[in-house]
Amino acid sequence: MATLIKEMLFYQRQYYKDKVKKPLFKAIVTLASRYKEPTREGDGQVAFENSRIRLDIQDYFLEHLKARHSLVAAAFRILIAQCENDGFYEFLHDLYIVELLKRGWTPTERGFPMYRYWDGDLPNDNLMESRKAYQNLFQETLEKVRTMRGENVKADTKGD
């Protein structure tokens, strides 16, 4: 049985590229254009602080990204608009981030720098100096989230 990465990058690479990814990316960009452009002020102004944070991250990404610019812009447009107008998607997005933190997610070591896609500063191999630094950062963030929600901060120490 082939792993997903082998299936998509080796055995069926051209099929996924031409018949799956290309039409999917085109559809995302096309459908995203139907959403009003989220902005900080004026027409399309967002109401929530998390949406403003997403706009800041979007601007940062689009400033430094050298590949798939229109796809990433479309994905942010959909994410921001959906989270702004539908609490269900805001809940799912929040829960996804919290679960990443709780489970000790760290960026993947890729074995090569990502400068071909990015023109801003990158830590060594997209990682901080050590995985422990990321784990500490994520644990601190998770504790802040739990404190804001009034939860027992030290209840889940699964990763220590």
pLDDT value for 132? 66
Mean pLDDT along residues 131-142: 72
The domain limits of the chain are: 8-85, 87-155
Mean pLDDT along residues 59-65: 94
Mean pLDDT along residues 70-75: 98
pLDDT value for 105? 85
The residue among 24 and 106 whose pLDDT is bigger is 24
- Which amino acid type is present at position 29? V
Q: How confident is the model over 99-122, as pLDDT tens digits?
A: 998 998 887 766 566 778 888 876
The residue among 39 and 132 whose pLDDT is bigger is 39
Helix axes 49-64, 69-85, angle to 10 degrees: 180
On the question of pLDDT at 137 being above 90, the answer is: no
